[in-house]
Amino acid sequence: TSCNVAVVGATGAVGETMLKVLAERKFPIGKLHVLASERSAGEKLEYEGKTIVVEDLALFDPAGVDIALFSAGGSVSKQYAPKFAAAGAVVIDNSSAFRYDDDIPLVVSEVNPEAAKNRPRGIIANPNCSTMQMLVALAPIHRQAKIERINVATYQSVSGTGKRAMEELGKQTAALLSFQQIDPQVYPVQIAFNVIPHGGDFTDNGYTTEEMKLVWETRKILGDDSIGVNATVVRVPVFYGHSEAVHIETRDKLSAADARALLEKAPGVVVVDEPVNGGYPTPVTHASGQDPVFVGRIREDISHPRGLSLWVVSDNIRKGAATNAVQLAELVWNER
Ligand code: A2P
């Protein structure tokens, strides 16, 4: 039998990729609905050679939908995800609207897939892109040697902010190269040829919301509230692919060689780690358009007896959002 699927936010950066990944992975789709706001209702999208018309979410009746993939922002999820769930759909929500609720599972398919089964509200949350890739790489190390503390600085691409941010980077870059200037609109300051240590909103403790997501989501997904996480989130002028400089301290000593061996057999991970020119992953050379989480620069921290440093790169729109959501849809559909 086949699954009736709705993609909410289908015209956005993540929604478009959800459709692409559903097709690539040959998800057994029966009826497919692509939904967005009234702004793009009536537009036409392609799916596997067929034309599908974008429907207005506000006018849509969710009856008969088996699985709904949401990526249209937190307020849309808050308003509509419960309605889809009440109509019988399992909602896989890419926003942060439900991630921190105790009765909503937060699932990385390679890390805690069993958690997806327990969904009293019919909603499964898809983690934040930066947490997603970090935990695909760190979960095998945590299981082996128990991670006590994580220090991470991210280098996040603009696609994570959405399509308008990608346009802003493109236009600003072109303008500056021809000695013109375009004022920032999406980001608080110029993003072209710059780096911005600010993602989301500032919170009372001096961290930003994007930084605190790494703290809360790591603990929830690994089921371990004792892990210390100290994050600095930085936006960089890259279109696709987030990078992370990750420094961990483990309870048990783990050598770089042992960590490399663990990661080489970890699901969803590709190790690219040679101490030569280009012997490490970057967004452009490895991650962009791909599903794996690429790990390189694995080394023992010379400043700490049980410290390890790693460089973790992945496509934030694919594994960081769309691919994991489709993997969760596969888990749900395969429960039958
Ligand atoms: P639309 O194209 O109609 O604006 P991105 O993150 O790339 O900016 O994409 C956001 C996605 O969420 C788009 O598909 C957008 O649709 C959709 N969206 C935004 N607001 C709403 C809303 N109020 N109702 C339905 N879809 C929405």
| Catalytic residue list contains 242 | yes
Query: pLDDT tens digits for 2-45?
Result: 999 999 999 999 999 999 999 999 999 999 999 999 999 999 99
Non-local CB neighbours of 236 within 8 Å, separated by 6+ positions: 155, 156, 157, 195, 196, 243
Query: pLDDT tens digits for 324-335?
Result: 999 999 999 999
The pTM is what?
A: 0.98
Closest CA to 55 of 82, 35, 28: 35
Contact 13, 317 (CB under 8 A): yes
Q: Which residue range(s) make up the domain with 72? A: 3-128+321-334
Q: Are residues 238 and 223 part of one domain?
A: yes
Number of other residues whose CB lies within 10 A of the CB of residue 199: 22
CATH number of the domain enclosing 164: 3.30.360.10
Output the pLDDT for position 309.
98
Dihedral pair phi/psi, residue 288, rounded to 5°: -55, 125
Q: Are residues 286 and 216 part of one domain?
A: yes
Q: Are residues 298 and 206 part of one domain?
A: yes
Q: Are residues 180 and 36 part of one domain?
A: no
Query: Residue 246: beta bridge partners?
Result: 152, 310
Q: Are residues 159 and 191 part of one domain?
A: yes
First to last CA, the chain: 10
Would the CB of 82 count as within 6 Å of ligand 1?
no
Q: How far is the CA of 139 from the centre of ligand 1 (A)?
A: 33
The sign one gets for the Cα dihedral 183, 188, 189, 191 is negative
Q: Are residues 281 and 235 part of one domain?
A: yes
Q: Each residue's pLDDT tens digit in the chain (336 positions)?
A: 899 999 999 999 999 999 999 999 999 999 999 999 999 999 999 999 999 999 999 999 999 999 999 999 999 999 999 999 999 999 999 999 999 999 999 999 999 999 999 999 999 999 999 999 999 999 999 999 999 999 999 999 999 999 999 999 999 999 999 999 989 999 999 999 999 999 999 999 999 999 999 999 999 999 999 999 999 999 999 999 999 999 999 999 999 999 999 999 999 999 999 999 999 999 999 999 999 999 999 999 999 999 999 999 999 999 999 999 999 999 999 999
| Catalytic residue list contains 129 | yes
E runs forming strands in 84-146: 90-93, 123-125
